[in-house]
Amino acid sequence: MFPLNRPRRLRQNPQLRRMVRETILTPNDLIYPLFAVPGNSVAQEVKSMPGVYQLSVDKIVEEAKEVYDLGIPAIILFGIPEIKDIEATGAWHDHGIVQQAATAVKKAVPDLVVIADTCLCEYTSHGHCGYLEVGDLTGRVLNDPTLELLKKTAVSQANAGADIIAPSGMMDGFVQAIREGLDEWGFEHIPILSYAAKYASAYYGPFRDAADSSPQFGDRRTYQMDPGNAREALKEVDLDISEGADMLMVKPALSYMDIIWRVKEMTDLPVAAYNVSGEYAMVKAAALNGWIDEKKVTLETLTSFKRAGADLILTYHAKDAVRWLAED
């Protein structure tokens, strides 16, 4: 009564395991987020995200060179402006901090792909992702007027050298508005990576330290998705595809691998997953306490995102992950 089928035959040594491995993580799968701030020679570590820094443009360029030398193909830029206002001027101004960083990086490392996060929460004085009614303290963003701000922001970022526009505000119709704006200004060749299914998640906490983007009142649940909804994510994705999205993102990643899988099953477009700040911080905190093996947990997690269907992974672990992959 011995078993006829013995799957363990193909697990008995590293060479065999590599030969039959179904999902392989590579540097080409990774995108590294960077946070640009005004000033010179600024490298301020984010307290809740060990190893992640707010960087001035000169330091962003240094980091971009290192990222490119490691073989990571792309970065995504977030900005913290010197002044915030209700018009989110720092998001769309030609001399905005992301615009400055994009131009500097493309000049220094022209073959590195620069993605611009196209949102307004870092730039508004109230911390919400668009216009609010005067006196409104609920955080209910006015959708259609905000589309005009997003359109201006995307065009400005493309004009500064961004290779990909990544709108993340979850406004209805934002992909169509941005596509129209880009095309009108001669940027038909610039692709849109839409945050198509972005959930109102507690996992974003440390990011708000990094990007100084906490809402001053209310929350973002009137525009970001309810964590209990899956079918709605597919509706959002379908709408973004119909509006002209070239790539799609699911955010967060760790608790939403079922959504990544469903999105990948419904479309042939590239699917990205954002391994967000809270997911990163949990791994870092546990590793610093000696409770987990950071390398093994990180590579297992990133591989799991890819196994779930992610073609691209935005992650603060990117540099470490590439170095660890080179060791194996």
168 annotated ligand-binding residue: no
125 annotated ligand-binding residue: no
> Across the chain, what does the average pLDDT equal?
95
For 257-283, the pLDDT digits (tens) are: 999 999 999 999 999 999 999 999 999
Query: What span, in angstroms and rounded, lies between the C-alpha atoms of 96 and 35?
Result: 13
Asked if residue 277 lies in contact with residue 205, where contact means CB atoms within 8 angstroms, the answer is yes
Query: Under DSSP, is residue 251 helix (H, G, I), strand (E, B) or coil?
Result: strand
Asked if residue 239 lies in contact with residue 296, where contact means CB atoms within 8 angstroms, the answer is no
Report domain 22-327's class: alpha beta
Structure tokens at 144: 């259609």
State the catalytic residues: 198, 251
Structure tokens at 289: 């306490």
Buried b (16+ CB within 10 A) or exposed e, 115-125: bbbbbbbbbbe
Buried b (16+ CB within 10 A) or exposed e, 249-258: bbbbbbebbe
For 234-255, the pLDDT digits (tens) are: 999 999 999 999 999 999 999 9
Query: Under DSSP, is residue 308 helix (H, G, I), strand (E, B) or coil?
Result: helix
Peptide bond into 252 cis (omega under 30): yes
Asked if residue 34 lies in contact with residue 49, where contact means CB atoms within 8 angstroms, the answer is no
17 annotated ligand-binding residue: no
The pLDDT of residue 133: 85
15 Cβ contact partners less than 8 Å away, ≥ 6 residues apart: none
236 annotated ligand-binding residue: yes
Among 18-27, 81-90, 213-222, which is the least confidently predicted range? Answer: 213-222
9 annotated ligand-binding residue: no
For 190-245, the pLDDT digits (tens) are: 999 999 999 999 999 888 787 777 777 767 888 899 999 999 999 999 999 999 99
Report the predicted TM-score, pTM, of the whole model to 2 decimal places. Answer: 0.95
pLDDT at 49 > cutoff 90: yes
121 annotated ligand-binding residue: yes
Instruction: Give whole-number Cα distances, 64 to 78, 114, 186, in Å.
Output: 14, 9, 27
The pLDDT of residue 218: 66
243 Cβ contact partners less than 8 Å away, ≥ 6 residues apart: 173, 175, 176, 179
